[in-house]
């Protein structure tokens, strides 16, 4: 099955001191998933109210389960909005992520 593309929008729902308390394990989670090819890119929003992950998965349900492993999710410090999209126009360097 082909992987689909998703944008995962994170919204912080707790104060930043609670976010910072789980930031290191959250970043390790992001790195693991980037290295495995599940995430394309991840970072925080400006101003610092949440984050964004571009992800690849076979289904929205598969990605939902993956998000449940995020330390932010487990700590209850962020809400997640998962948006599936179809890349139509992209830089050729990103073509590998559209297959």
The answer as to whether 98 is a domain residue is no
Rg (CA), the chain: 14
**Inter-CA distances, 8 with 17, 75, 83, Å:** 22, 18, 6
The answer as to whether 24 is a domain residue is yes
pTM of the model: 0.90
54 vs 34: CA distance, rounded Å: 10
The answer as to whether 37 is a domain residue is yes
- Domain range for 39 is 12-58+69-88
The answer as to whether 39 is a domain residue is yes
Q: How many domains does the chain have?
A: 1
The answer as to whether 2 is a domain residue is no
Report CA torsion sign: 26, 29, 35, 37: negative
Element (H, E) at 28: helix 23-35
The least confident of 15-19, 45-49, 80-84, 85-89 is 85-89
The answer as to whether 63 is a domain residue is no
Percent of the chain with pLDDT over 90: 83
93 vs 91: CA distance, rounded Å: 5
């Amino acid at each position: 099955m082909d992987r689909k593309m998703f944008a995962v929008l994170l919204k912080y729902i707790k104060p930043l001191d609670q976010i910072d308390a789980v930031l290191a394990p959250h970043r390790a989670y992001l790195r693991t998933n980037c290295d495995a090819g599940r995430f394309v890119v991840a970072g925080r929003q400006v101003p610092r109210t949440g984050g964004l992950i571009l992800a690849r998965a076979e289904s929205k349900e598969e990605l939902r389960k993956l998000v449940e492993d995020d330390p932010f999710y487990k700590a209850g410090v962020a809400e997640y909005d998962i948006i599936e999209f179809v890349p139509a126009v992209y830089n050729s360097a990103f073509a590998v992520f559209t297959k």
